[in-house]
Structure 1
């Protein structure tokens, strides 16, 4: 079931600038300005270009998300590390709901 517009509007609410929570879902891409692009409405070329761009910047995004996860874990369970610390940046990126959705649609999956 696709998320509603209200669900999409609530994702990452209160996070100025680029919203790292975009990696936690597979319905849309949001740029730094907050403009949202539905994955199912993107062309195959746009999806492939976005995957390529994300791959080039995977290390940057991975460090940002890892920092977010570390802070959350330190608040909830001091002294523990998230399991993602064993992954490479590219492994993490490929496993995100965002990239899985982009790849699914690019491979001819459901629109």
Structure 2
């Protein structure tokens, strides 16, 4: 089976789409960054460094300092696919991030988005 082309895409190419989606719904770039940092364990400087060096998505998640242990609580459907049913670990992490940004854009309270 061939690797999904999304894995080789630079995270810097996907990041603006996350920010635009949130901003269209009245949320901020800082909130998107907070969600990404919560999931991956990056701090603000680390996240910006990964965006600036145009790391691909595979490297972005592989280099994540500490994936949040509560990420398993992220459930639901993204693009018609149940997040918790995705078999490939990398694709599941991508879908988890997609789901968090979706919830943020839909106006969910940050405490609920971050599974507090």
TM exceeding 0.5: no
Larger Rg belongs to: 1
TM normalised by structure 2 equals 0.28
TM normalised by structure 1 equals 0.28
